[in-house]
Every structure is written in structure tokens, then in C-alpha cells.
Amino acid sequence: MSFNPLVPDWRGKNAWLVGASSGIGQATAHALHAAGARVFVSARNARALDSFAQSHPGAVALALDVTDPLALKAAAQTVLAAGPLDLVMYCAGYYQELRATGFDLAEMVKHSEVNYHGALYLLDAVLPALLAQRSGHISLISSVAGYTGLPKALAYGPTKAALINLAETLYLDLKARGIGVSLVCPGFVETPLTAHNKFAMPALITPEQAAREILQGWTKGEFEIHFPKRFTRWMKALRLLPYGMRFAAVRKITSL
């Protein structure tokens, strides 16, 4: 089933990726550029963005902090001045392990600001233009950590769950307006965010593999793009269990 307008050809399309200085965002920007899209990349790391732009002719670097709504609006004006926006992807993320026994309000708020509020600021900056042009695509990177509560994900998990609900609601509201919406739920991907994990990460994949999955999902018009499926299908099945069975399974799997 196709949920969104198909994108068989990226040549000449304008794509803005927010959170593209490394990891999945940068790999996806590279894949889009290779497919012929004009790519705009944003993140805080100006040096990484400039390096990307120099090695990808035509790419535009727009350094910003996703927690600054005015900076996102200013960057959006630059992107929209180049023509219709065909794709905007929110891939900025922040992650630190946290358990309730070490509750840290500052960490909770920082996760919310980067992982969720930043997406809202981006929507505020681009939605009016997308609604006016009656086209375009919004893609939000969540995580399988948003499927169910997990130990050590007290700060991270709820923000990813919020993105899942946000994407679902956006889809329901925007489909009739000609705007596509997709939700990306990766498992473990080898990125700076996961580099400090002290546990074995099952089915770990590279950012380049993740980018291929994402582009394939957009090409097929999928709503939820989750990968690698040998891991994510188990996570999806887990959230269907009654709470008693689910909590017991999570404790057994994580040994926590």
C-alpha cells in the first residue's frame, strides 16, 4: 500500500535535512545528492556542513541550532527562496542514558528540546509554504526506542514516542492537502549517538545502509520506514503484548 506520493526520481528536487552533520542525516544527504537532488544541510557543526558542501557540488550549508526557532525560520527562508521544497527531514537527535534512579531534569529537558521541540520549530518554519504549494514531503526520524518503555531510555524514549504520534497525526491532517509524511524508526545504527553505548547492539548497521532504506521507503511511498527488519519486527511485536508480558520480556532481554 502506498501512503504517500511516489518519488521515482530525485533529479531537480529540493531537499532540506536538519541534523545532517553526521550519522543518518549526513548519509541520507549524500544519497539524495547522488540521486540528483539539490541538498540543503543544517546542524550546529558548521565545519562539518561546509566540508559536506565542498565535496557535494550544489549543496548548501546552513548552520543552526535546532533549539532556536528564529534560526530555523531564517534558514527556511533561504531554502524556500530556491524554489518549492520537495522534502524536509528532521534528523537532529540527542541521547544520553538515563534511569529514574538518577533522574536529571536538565537532561530530560535537553532531550525534549533537541529531539521533539526542534521538530516543532521546523514545522512552524516550513508548513505554511508546504500548505501553500500543496506538495512536498515531511520526514521525521524517530526510533524503535519510541515503541515501548525501555531501561536507560527515560529521557530519550519519550521524545521518540512523541515523534511517532506527531508523524501519525501530521499524516492524517496533510494527506488531503497533497503533502506526504513519513516516519523513520531505525534500530541500532553506527552513529555518534550510539558510539558510547556500553552494551551489545543487535543488528547494528551503517548510516549508509540506513540511508538506502530511507530512500527506498520514500520511493515506495511508505509511511513508516523501519529497519533493519530482522530487529525492528521483534520490537514492533513486543509493543503488541499485554503489559505484564511486555515488561517481563523487556527485563529478560535487557537483564535490567
Distance, in Å, from the CA atom of 233 to the CA atom of 144, rounded to the nearest integer, reads: 10
What cell does 209 get? 545502509
Task: Give me the phi and psi of 233, to 5 degrees please.
Answer: -65, -35
Cα–Cα dist 167/183, whole Å: 6
CA dist 222 to 7, 17, 81, 179, 188, Å?
11, 19, 28, 13, 20
Of 95, 121, 147, 156, the active-site residue reads 156
**Among 82, 90, 10, residue whose Cα is nearest residue 43:** 90
User: β-pairing, 137-141 with 87-90?
Assistant: parallel
List the one residue out of 86, 183, 105 whose CA is nearest residue 141: 183
CB 21 within 8 A of CB 202: no
Distance CA 246, CA 17 (A): 35
How far, rounded to the nearest angstrom, does the alpha carbon of residue 158 sit from its chain's CA centroid? 15
**Is-contact 114 94, C-beta < 8 A?**
yes
Q: Cis ω on the peptide bond leading into residue 57 (within 30° of 0)? A: no
For residue 156, indicate whether it is catalytic.
Answer: yes
Report the catalytic residues.
Answer: 156
